Amino acid sequence: MVKDYADAFIIGSELIGLTKIKDPGNNFPAVNELVNLAGLVKAIVGQRVLVSYAADWSEYHHTEGSWYNLDPLWASPTIDFIGIDAYFLLTNIEGSFITDKDIKDGFAQGEGYDYYFDYERNQKTLLEPAFAWKNLKYWWENTHRNPNRIITAWQPRSKKSGLLNMGFLRLIKLLTSQMFFSIPYVRMVGYQNTQTVK
Query: Measured between alpha carbons, how far is 69 from 29 in angstroms, rounded to an integer?
Result: 10
Please, what is the average pLDDT of the chain? Answer: 81
- Quote the pLDDT of residue 95: 66
Sheet arrangement for strand 160-166? 8-13, 50-56, 81-86, 160-166
Query: Measured between alpha carbons, how far is 189 from 198 in angstroms, rounded to an integer?
Result: 16
Q: What is the mean pLDDT of residues 142-162?
A: 94
Share of the chain above pLDDT 70, in %: 81
E strand or H helix that includes residue 121? none
- Quote the pLDDT of residue 28: 96
CA-to-CA separations, 10 to 7, 38, 81, in angstroms, rounded: 10, 9, 10
Q: What is the mean pLDDT of residues 172-178?
A: 40
